[in-house]
A = this chain, B = another copy of it.
Amino acid sequence: MTDANIEAVRDFFQEFQSRLVEKLESLDGGGKFSNERLDMPNKGYSRPRVLGGGSLFEKAAVHFTYSVGTALPAAATERNPELAGRAFRATALSVIVHPWNPHLPTTHMNLRMFLVDAQPEVWYFGGGFDLTPHLPYDEDIRTWHENARRACLSDTHYRQLKKQCDEYFYLPHRNETRGIGGLFFDDYVGDNFYDSFKFVRQVGHHFLLAYETIAKRRRDLEWTEEEEDWMLIRRGRYAEFNLAIDRGTKYGLQSGRRVESVLASLPPRAKWVYQFVPQPGSPSAKLAQYLRPGIDWLSIVDNSVDSECE
């Protein structure tokens, strides 16, 4: 029965990958994603799809994988260490978008399901999405978190997953979050498979809806060289997170997965400027204020839609 379940999730991830690719290509209005199928051991396979140098997107990657393994890596079972070493199947879909235009945020989404051979069988979902604006628009942050809220089962559920997102996408050495957050969940088992899978589909749906809304709202805005530089500095922080902190990247690098797929999330360009300080009162300075965990976006940005940035 769970075999059929993970196959249903795998098939959904593949279909949703195609839908994401179509939508992103349509938003881009020129760029096309590469299309590969790579065979992995035991009839597993992956479909890494990358768009580089598009019209709107400097880089976008939408990766699907289906793995069949004989020994679950310890890193995949933080909360259930007794499962390490068991046979497993896993399927995952991940998205990263790095636009050219600093008015558009960088974004990331990940959805995954694990099925572990045990008595009884163990399955769980993981994933979430987060947004990394460069020039922050309160209206966009509201759109983002409203969609995050709608993907969840309740206010409480949203608040829990939002908190987990703030905690995960955090750079302790900078004392700042990677962006303005979203949702993050791991070892997720809802009331039953049907409801959990539905929730995961909702996360995917609201991710796409929110990012499409924001991208269309901002894509025609002009930008300055200073704003682009600021985006490149923020992308440096993104690279710091992905290389020095992210558990997923660490696991990928250590487990010997194809390095170009693991590191497809890295920004196409990045900058590091010694002791850079944003101009006081600028949108960059406003962003620096926003990179804190625990901000209640749905309350705070309610009555101040874009007063500073537009």
Contacts from A to B (Cβ < 8 Å) = 34, 50, 52, 59, 61, 172-174, 232, 236, 239-240, 243-244, 249-250, 253-254, 256, 259-260, 262-264, 266-275
CB-nearest residue of chain B to A246 = B244
Complex contacts, A266 vs chain B, CB 8 Å: 236, 272
Number of copies: 2
Distance of A195 Cα from B192 Cα, bound (Å): 71
B274/A271 in contact, CB under 8 A:
no
Measured CB to CB, the closest approach of chain B to A139, in angstroms, equals 31
Query: Which interface residue of A254, A266, A270 has the most chain B CB atoms within 10 A?
Result: A270
Name 10 interchain pairs, CB-CB below 8 A, sorted by A: A34-B274, A52-B273, A61-B274, A173-B254, A174-B259, A232-B269, A244-B250, A263-B272, A268-B272, A270-B272
Task: With A174-B259, A243-B244 as known contacts, state yes or no: A268 contacts B267, CB within 8 Å.
Answer: no
Q: Please name 13 further chain A to chain B contacts, defined as beta carbons within 8 Å, in addition to the given A172-B253, A244-B249, A266-B272, sorted by A numbering.
A: A52-B274, A61-B274, A173-B256, A173-B262, A239-B239, A239-B243, A243-B244, A244-B244, A260-B275, A264-B274, A268-B272, A270-B270, A270-B271
Complex contacts, A50 vs chain B, CB 8 Å: 274-275
Distance of A232 Cα from B249 Cα, bound (Å): 21
Distance of A231 Cα from B201 Cα, bound (Å): 42
A272/B262 in contact, CB under 8 A:
no
